[in-house]
Amino acid sequence: MDFIQVDPQARQHVALIQLNRPKELNALNLQLMSELRDALRQLDEEEHVRTIVITGNERAFAAGADIKQMAGKTAIDMLNVDQFATWDQIRKTKKPVIAAVSGFALGGGCELAMTCDMIIASETALFGQPEIKIGVMPGAGGTQRLTKAIGKAKAMEMVLTGKFMTAADAEKHGLINRVVPVELFLEEALELATQVAQMSPVAARLAKEAVNRAFETQLDEGLHFERKNFYLCFASEDQTEGMNAFVEKRKPAFKGR
Ligand code: CO8
């Protein structure tokens, strides 16, 4: 594993996965996502593991999908790569998964945190869907999960302006479970994972499935719709301009085509 570190026994019955591309603020490239999928699949099968914590580092949980990797892609390239197959496998993890978030949780990083079952955040955590600023839109569930978590008005504002939400506001609006001081965010997540790990693993799995079922049918349709529109963004000049501007560290000049 190049971009993640796995400790299958961080605590009794609790595994820890750390995203590990610190220089790139844990930007989620295709390899990292495949490694994460493989690790979750393996931990899901290991009998001694009952709950899983995913974390980044103090500065960043993940600053989104890897813009440098996506910048030159066409809509058809994106469709053919089908990276969301990996995301679908991740969301099908049977054991409870907790995100321990500090610093940036942006774009795909925010979406990854929301794909987990619970989120513990440090007081420095910032959540956002800033894709609009680089000429695209959320593609890994952001338009669906954020809207369900914090409601239409707040979600619409975040998705249309790219504005970040602080950990305190994220707690207030129901996006996360709780905020703790930065030195405690991982400890708190491991503690919560340990609590869940003391329950019946069978009941925990079934209960997780049932809670997710509360919105799953709608979610499937919503995700499908979101993906089509996300791919369509890659047919625009604005996507090329937006992502190139990020890579070249300048302001984008969007033209509406
Ligand atoms: N992709 C690639 N590289 C990144 C990313 C990213 N998302 N975020 C940061 N980096 C890199 C920077 O380019 C920089 O690298 P270098 O040192 O080589 O120039 C390094 O990480 C450090 O970043 P900054 O110097 O920019 O650090 P700052 O503290 O000045 O700024 C920010 C931090 C505000 C987080 C800034 O880096 C930023 O705006 N990042 C991009 C955030 C963003 O737009 N995220 C959304 C990406 S699109 C997306 O997620 C689509 C999701 C749907 C599909 C999911 C499929 C996987």
Instruction: Tell me if the pTM is above 0.80.
Output: yes
Largest CA distance in the chain: 56
User: pLDDT value at position 57?
Assistant: 98
ipTM: 0.98
Q: Which CATH class is domain 4-197?
A: alpha beta
Does the Cβ of 104 fall within 6 Å of ligand 1? Answer: yes
Q: Is 111 one of the annotated active-site residues of the chain?
A: yes
The terminus-to-terminus CA distance of the chain in angstroms comes to: 40
pLDDT at residue 2 tops 90: yes
Q: Among the options 100, 109, 111, 141, which is catalytic?
A: 111
3 state DSSP class of 65: strand
Confidence band for 118, pLDDT divided at 50, 70 and 90: very high
Which amino acid is it at 155?
A
> Which residues neighbour 35 within 8 Å (Cβ) at sequence distance 6 or greater?
1, 2, 3, 4
The phi-psi region of residue 50 (left if phi > 0; otherwise alpha if psi is between -120 and 50; otherwise beta) is alpha
Does the Cβ of 139 fall within 6 Å of ligand 1? Answer: yes
Q: Is 141 one of the annotated active-site residues of the chain?
A: no
The segment(s) of the chain belonging to CATH 1.10.12.10 are 201-247
Nearest CA owner, ligand 1 atom 36: 63
Q: List Cα–Cα distances, 139 to 12, 40, 54, 86, 109, in angstroms.
A: 35, 21, 20, 13, 11
Average pLDDT over the chain reads 96
C-alpha 225/C-alpha 242 separation (Å) is 22
> In 3D, which of 5, 92, 100 has the Cα closest to residue 53?
100
**In the CATH scheme, what is the homologous superfamily, with its name and number, of domain 201-247?**
Lyase 2-enoyl-coa Hydratase, Chain  A, domain 2 (1.10.12.10)
16: which 2 tokens? Answer: 């820890």
Confidence band for 93, pLDDT divided at 50, 70 and 90: very high
204: which 2 tokens? Answer: 């925990």
Using the atom order of ligand 1, give the atom closest to the CA of residue 129. Answer: 46
pLDDT single digits (tens) 134-181 = 999 999 999 999 999 999 999 999 999 999 999 999 999 999 999 999
User: pLDDT value at position 217?
Assistant: 84
The runs of H, that is alpha helices, within the chain are: 30-45, 67-70, 75-81, 84-91, 108-115, 142-150, 152-161, 167-172, 185-197, 201-213, 216-233, 237-247
pLDDT single digits (tens) 176-231 = 999 999 999 999 999 999 999 999 999 999 999 999 988 888 889 999 999 999 99
Query: From ligand 1's centre to the CA of 93, what distance in Å?
Result: 27
The segment(s) of the chain belonging to CATH 3.90.226.10 are 4-197
pLDDT at residue 16 tops 90: yes
Q: Among the options 56, 100, 131, 135, which is catalytic?
A: 131
Query: From ligand 1's centre to the CA of 87, what distance in Å?
Result: 19
pLDDT at residue 252 tops 90: yes
Does the Cβ of 121 fall within 6 Å of ligand 1? Answer: no
* H/E run at residue 165: strand 165-166
Which amino acid is it at 122?
S
Query: From ligand 1's centre to the CA of 63, what distance in Å?
Result: 5
pLDDT at residue 40 tops 90: yes
Confidence band for 256, pLDDT divided at 50, 70 and 90: confident
User: pLDDT value at position 127?
Assistant: 98
Using the atom order of ligand 1, give the atom closest to the CA of residue 66. Answer: 1
